[in-house]
């Protein structure tokens, strides 16, 4: 019976059907008529793909940041689909200097199936899943399964495994309502090419569609990654005579009719400037120039156009993520190549606020110039050390890009990151971290600084707010309270040498046992309210949802019954962040003007009481009397005036003394970067 159902289902597939008009006449066609009929069928492919363009474009847009962050693009296919995938994948390193470890093709039956068909290999769903598990797929990766029928077991198994690994997933098929469309993939690209010229021969129109779609995805991705310039494959690597000629031509086309600045024998810029006119001598000079740029045509163009040395040009390319258009824009803002700075002009200070949701890096100079940028989460206890360092590196590089754009005199060439005079890295979760030494070593390596000589300071993120007291000459003491994804309170004082010293701490226990008054705490109370109401009404045959309950369920896209399973298993975000995100719903309803939602407001008042309980132990006279210190508030929640008012109202209700000063900090890393620069100036003047 199962075999009968399988055969019956197979017969219903569009790709297994026949064109009745073509079927009645094909046997009578002469050869030219056959070729013409074949071509007319193939011409239908472009129209089928055109209807999928919005989906393909969205997929490419999601791919760009993932590949840039080191994620992989993994194609999965069987038979002809696998060969098409392998062909597209294998061309990317040669054409675009793409990292071959980032672009993989998983073919049913393994590499041998590329040469000789192994039809039986596609029938194992378990093999597809096992093959993908072996690749250790994670959330930065993207897995695209190609199956003309939309039901190839090997491909389905691999995609199911990809979903479990939290990867971005997509399917390419040629049949509507297929199994692949019911997996819950992020994207399904359905190119309806109709019956094949020979029924079931999906190497024809279906194969052509798959090839064009994969070519479109990978090529548009490479363009978005900045690996081309004006239809030229700018990132091509010179490997043979044909590519050598092409590389030479690209350099001339990119640089136009202007002069070319070429590298000399020692790798430094040659004083010789030649015009981009094709002569035997100039051809040889350009070939040598490309060679001295490591065979990179893009870097050769960057040096030739700018007059930068090789290291400076590479640094500037890195700062714009290799995007040559952005590189040219930055060049146009500079009248001449960047010159190295004198040592006394090179002091840069950086402070990094590594929070549970995102990381912010702020850069200051002695003259007070500030640049700031952000990247992903940096909680030491929730993010792998490699990923944490990558986020810090990304935020730093983005901040440097802004600094260099506004102040090109600070451009450096010797290293990807400049030498910072002082670095302060403040990371969430560090206070209770299992192995902070590992993070310390990686930061010393990244920034070429040392905790031993004082050029690196590593603390928990709450200490960053002590800088607000450090740059304020009117106070000597402070208590900070942070309410973002998590919560923590810290007390500190200014030492005689200007350094800030921690004298007390409360909270910061993490979401499992603490984080009172935080976004997670608010979201958790909202979820608890829904579950409690559900339990209380289970013998009443249902109940009317409140505004808060309805809005929370709408935000999660689920019902009361599958609330927890959605949070823990079906959300694209980790459960902690999914719950914390619900604080937005609660604050929107609770602070609605007019007509605040009373259920939401009650949750917010409870959270505010939790924050007051955190501050109270630090505000006793034996630690620090509030009347002589600042209260420093930070975090997304405390930037909301109504929530701050709730906290201060609860503080007054507890009959606690008022603080001398209330400071609301929008960006702690900026204050800390200013403090580092001020502290360095103070130290320098003290030595004089």
pLDDT of amino acid 305: 82
Q: Which of 302, 332, 362 is the last residue of a domain?
A: 332
Q: Does pLDDT of 41 surpass 70?
A: yes
Q: Are residues 198 and 282 in the same domain?
A: no
Instruction: In whole angstroms, give the CA distance from residue 565 to residue 558.
Output: 9
Indicate the SS3 state at residue 361.
strand
In a domain, 645, yes or no: yes
Instruction: In whole angstroms, give the CA distance from residue 521 to residue 511.
Output: 8
* DSSP strands (E only) in 366-404: 370-375
pLDDT category of residue 268 using cuts at 50, 70 and 90: low
In a domain, 453, yes or no: yes
* Poorest-pLDDT segment among 8-12, 234-238, 614-618: 8-12
Instruction: In whole angstroms, give the CA distance from residue 353 to residue 337.
Output: 33
Cβ pair 350, 372 in contact under 8 A? no
pLDDT of amino acid 587: 93
Q: Are residues 433 and 547 in the same domain?
A: no
- DSSP letters, 31-87, are HHHHHHHHHHHHTHHHHHHHTTHHHHHHHHHHHHHHHHTT--EEEEE-THHHHHHHH
675 alpha carbon, distance to own chain's centre = 30
The residue from 41, 62, 119, 122 that is catalytic is 122
Q: Does pLDDT of 344 surpass 50?
A: no
Q: Where are the alpha helices (DSSP H) in 165-204?
A: none
What the block records as the tokens of 270 is 């040659």
Cβ pair 648, 688 in contact under 8 A? no
pLDDT category of residue 7 using cuts at 50, 70 and 90: very low
Q: Does pLDDT of 417 surpass 80?
A: no
Q: Are residues 419 and 459 in the same domain?
A: yes
Q: Which of 275, 299, 332 is the last residue of a domain?
A: 332
Average pLDDT, the chain: 82
Q: Are residues 50 and 85 in the same domain?
A: yes
Q: Does pLDDT of 680 surpass 80?
A: no
What the block records as the tokens of 437 is 């030494």
Q: How does DSSP classify residue 120? A: G
pLDDT of amino acid 18: 66
Tell me the percentage of the chain whose pLDDT exceeds 90: 22
pLDDT of amino acid 688: 46
In a domain, 668, yes or no: no
In a domain, 85, yes or no: yes
Tell how strand 168-173 and strand 259-263 pair up: unpaired
Could you list the residue range(s) of the whole structural domain that residue 320 is in?
241-332
In a domain, 312, yes or no: yes
Q: Are residues 161 and 248 in the same domain?
A: no
Tell how strand 630-634 and strand 477-483 pair up: parallel
In a domain, 683, yes or no: no
Instruction: In whole angstroms, give the CA distance from residue 613 to residue 661.
Output: 20
Distances in Å between the Cα of 351 and the Cα atoms of 5, 164, 469, 675 are 65, 37, 16, 9
* Poorest-pLDDT segment among 173-182, 242-251, 318-327: 318-327
Q: Are residues 20 and 48 in the same domain?
A: yes
Active site residue 42: no
What is the CATH classification number for the domain harbouring 45? 3.40.50.10490
Active site residue 91: yes
Cβ neighbours for 195, distance < 8 A, ≥ 6 positions apart: 14, 15, 16, 17, 18, 19
The model's pLDDT over 454-489, given as tens digits with 9 standing for 90+, comes to 889 998 888 888 888 878 877 888 898 989 888 889
Q: Are residues 389 and 284 in the same domain?
A: no
The model's pLDDT over 44-72, given as tens digits with 9 standing for 90+, comes to 898 889 989 999 999 999 999 899 888 99
Q: Which residue has the higher pLDDT, 268 or 329?
A: 329
Q: How does DSSP classify residue 569? A: I
Mean predicted confidence (pLDDT) in 666-685: 75
Q: Are residues 57 and 171 in the same domain?
A: yes
Mean predicted confidence (pLDDT) in 553-578: 78
Instruction: In whole angstroms, give the CA distance from residue 467 to residue 478.
Output: 10
Tell how strand 359-365 and strand 370-375 pair up: antiparallel
Q: Are residues 561 and 593 in the same domain?
A: yes
The residue from 91, 326, 444, 560 that is catalytic is 91
What is the CATH classification number for the domain harbouring 463? 3.30.420.40
Q: Are residues 218 and 261 in the same domain?
A: no
Whole-model pTM over 0.75: no
Q: Which residue has the higher pLDDT, 338 or 259?
A: 259
pLDDT of amino acid 609: 93
Mean predicted confidence (pLDDT) in 260-271: 66
Q: Are residues 213 and 300 in the same domain?
A: no
Domain count, the chain: 4
Instruction: In whole angstroms, give the CA distance from residue 84 to residue 213.
Output: 10
pLDDT of amino acid 603: 94
The model's pLDDT over 88-137, given as tens digits with 9 standing for 90+, comes to 998 998 888 888 999 999 988 877 777 776 776 678 889 899 999 999 89
In a domain, 677, yes or no: no
In a domain, 249, yes or no: yes
Max CA separation in the chain (angstroms): 102
What is the CATH classification number for the domain harbouring 265? 1.10.8
Q: Are residues 192 and 247 in the same domain?
A: no
Q: Which of 160, 194, 224 is the last residue of a domain?
A: 224
- DSSP letters, 261-316, are EEE-TTSSEEEEEEES---HHHHHHHHHHHHHTTTBHHHHHHHHHH---HHHHHHH
């Amino acid at each position: 019976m199962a075999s009968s159902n399988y055969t019956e289902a197979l017969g219903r597939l569009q790709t297994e059907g026949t064109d009745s008009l073509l079927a009645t006449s094909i046997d009578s066609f002469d050869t030219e008529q056959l070729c013409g009929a074949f071509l007319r069928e193939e011409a239908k492919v472009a129209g089928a793909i055109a209807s999928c363009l919005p989906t393909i474009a969205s997929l490419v847009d999601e791919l760009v940041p993932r590949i840039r962050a080191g994620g992989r693009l993994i194609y999965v296919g069987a038979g002809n689909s696998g060969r098409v995938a392998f062909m597209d994948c294998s061309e990317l390193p040669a054409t675009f200097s793409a990292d071959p470890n980032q672009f993989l093709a998983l073919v049913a039956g393994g590499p041998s199936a590329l040469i000789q068909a192994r039809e039986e290999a596609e029938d194992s769903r378990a093999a597809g899943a096992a093959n993908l598990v072996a690749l250790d797929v994670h959330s930065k990766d993207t897995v695209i399964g190609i199956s003309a029928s939309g039901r190839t077991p090997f491909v389905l198994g691999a995609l199911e495994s990809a979903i479990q690994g939290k990867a971005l997933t997509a399917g390419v098929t040629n049949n509507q309502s297929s199994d692949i469309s019911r997996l819950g993939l992020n994207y399904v690209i359905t190119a309806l090419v109709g019956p094949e010229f020979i029924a079931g021969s999906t190497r024809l129109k279906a194969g052509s569609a798959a090839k064009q779609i994969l070519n479109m995805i990978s090529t548009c991705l490479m363009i978005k990654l900045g690996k081309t310039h004006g239809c030229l494959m700018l990132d091509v690597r010179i490997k043979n005579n044909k590519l050598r000629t092409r590389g030479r031509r690209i350099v001339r086309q990119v640089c136009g009719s202007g002069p070319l600045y070429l590298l000399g024998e020692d790798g430094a810029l040659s004083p010789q400037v030649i015009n981009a006119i094709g002569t035997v001598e100039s051809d040889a000079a350009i070939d040598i120039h490309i060679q001295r740029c490591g065979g990179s045509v893009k870097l050769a163009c960057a040096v030739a156009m700018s007059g930068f040395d090789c290291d400076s040009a590479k640094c500037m390319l890195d700062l714009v993520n290799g995007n040559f258009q952005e590189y040219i824009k930055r060049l146009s803002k500079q009248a001449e190549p960047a010159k190295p700075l004198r040592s006394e002009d090179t002091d840069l200070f950086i402070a990094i606020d590594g929070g549970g949701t995102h990381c912010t890096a702020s850069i200051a100079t002695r003259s007070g110039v500030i640049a700031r940028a952000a990247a992903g989460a940096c909680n030491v206890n929730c993010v792998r050390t490699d990923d944490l360092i990558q986020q810090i590196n990304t935020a730093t590089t983005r901040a440097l890009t802004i600094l260099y754009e506004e102040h090109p005199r600070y451009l450096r060439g010797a290293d990807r990151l400049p030498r910072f005079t002082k670095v302060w890295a403040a990371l969430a979760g560090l206070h209770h971290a299992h192995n902070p030494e590992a993070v310390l070593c990686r930061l010393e390596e990244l920034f070429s600084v040392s905790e031993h000589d004082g050029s690196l300071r590593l603390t928990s993120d709450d200490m960053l707010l002590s800088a607000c007291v450090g740059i304020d000459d009117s106070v000597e003491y402070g208590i900070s309270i942070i309410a973002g994804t998590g919560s923590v309170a810290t007390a500190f004082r200014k030492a005689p040498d200007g350094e800030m010293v921690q004298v007390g701490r409360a909270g910061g226990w993490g979401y499992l046992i603490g984080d009172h008054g935080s976004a997670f705490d608010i979201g958790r109370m909202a979820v608890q309210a829904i579950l409690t109401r559900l339990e209380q009404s289970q013998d009443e045959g249902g109940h009317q949802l409140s505004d808060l309950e309805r809005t929370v369920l709408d935000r999660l896209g689920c019902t009361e019954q599958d609330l927890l399973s959605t949070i823990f298993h079906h959300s694209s975000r980790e459960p902690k962040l999914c719950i914390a995100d619900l604080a937005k719903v609660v604050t929107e309803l609770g602070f609605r003007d007019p007509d605040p939602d009373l259920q939401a407001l009650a949750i917010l008042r409870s959270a505010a009481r939790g924050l007051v309980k955190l501050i109270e132990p630090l505000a006793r006279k034996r630690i620090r009397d509030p009347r002589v210190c600042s209260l420093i508030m930070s975090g997304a929640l405390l930037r909301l005036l109504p929530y701050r008012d709730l906290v201060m109202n609860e503080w007054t209700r507890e009959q606690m003394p008022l603080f001398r000063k209330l400071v609301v900090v929008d960006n702690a890393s900026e204050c800390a970067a200013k403090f580092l620069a001020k502290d360095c100036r103070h130290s320098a003047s003290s030595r004089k």
